[in-house]
């Protein structure tokens, strides 16, 4: 299979730097898959599961939350706010975060900002849980 250079960077450091066969991730407009030879492309990322197929044929999945995906001259850069490989996800933390978000959403008289923050927290926790659960 043809490969292309892929770099995944987050504020906490580089998460992946090497050749890849396929990258699938969720953008603000839905899921996209990038294969070798893709035209120059740019989009913003949403929240969801992403996976990378390595030249060895392994499929590594990760929770990918927010950021930017660019393809320039065959080089793919994924600049994510959060990128956690399935094996690195702290499921207990995700569970706690989910409970916390649910509890906050149940409170009466939420203002718009709290509602937005709590629902974002809920979605992040759900993404993490589903990525970690899919691995098992």
Partner 1 sequence: MPASMKEIKLRIKSVQGTRQLTKAMELVASSKLRRASDRVEHSRPYFETLYQTLCDMAAADPTLQSPYLARQSGGSTCYIVIAGDRGLAGGYNANVFRAFAGDNPDGQICVLPIGRRAVEHFERQGIPIVSRAFAVAGELSVSDCFEISRMLCGLVAGGQIGAIRLVYTRFVSMLAQKAQVLPVLPFIPPAGKSAHPMLLYEPDSETVFNAVIPEYLAGIVYGALCESVSSELAARRTAMDSASRNASDMIDRLSLNYNRARQAAITRELTEIVAGADAGGV
Query: Which residues are near partner 1 by CB under 8 A?
Result: 7, 9-14, 27-29, 32, 39-44, 66-68, 70, 72, 77, 79, 81, 117
Residues with Cβ within 8 Å of residue 33, at least 6 apart in sequence: 22, 23, 24
| CA 52 vs CA 39, 56, 64, 128: distances in Å | 19, 11, 11, 16
**Least distance to partner 1, CB of residue 77, Å:** 6
- Cβ proximity to partner 1: between 29 and 108 the closer is 29
CA 122 to chain centre: 15
**Least distance to partner 1, CB of residue 62, Å:** 16
- Cβ proximity to partner 1: between 81 and 130 the closer is 81
- Cβ proximity to partner 1: between 70 and 129 the closer is 70
Q: Do 43 and 27 touch, CB atoms closer than 8 A?
A: yes
**Least distance to partner 1, CB of residue 107, Å:** 19
Measured distance CA(76)–CA(62) in Å, rounded:
17
- Cβ proximity to partner 1: between 99 and 116 the closer is 116
**DSSP state for residue 56 in the 8-state scheme:** T
């Amino acid at each position: 299979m043809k490969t292309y250079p892929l770099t995944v960077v987050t504020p906490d450091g580089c998460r992946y730097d090497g050749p890849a066969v396929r990258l699938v991730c969720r953008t603000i407009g839905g899921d996209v898959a990038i294969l070798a030879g893709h035209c120059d492309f740019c989009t913003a990322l949403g929240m969801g599961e992403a996976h990378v197929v390595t030249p060895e044929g392994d499929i590594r999945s990760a929770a990918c939350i927010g950021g930017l995906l660019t393809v320039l001259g065959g080089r793919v850069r994924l600049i994510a706010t959060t990128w956690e490989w399935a094996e690195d996800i702290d499921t207990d933390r995700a569970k706690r975060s989910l409970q916390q978000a649910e509890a906050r959403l149940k409170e009466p008289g939420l203002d718009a900002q709290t509602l937005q923050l709590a629902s974002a927290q809920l979605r992040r926790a759900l993404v993490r849980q589903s990525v970690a659960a899919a691995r098992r």
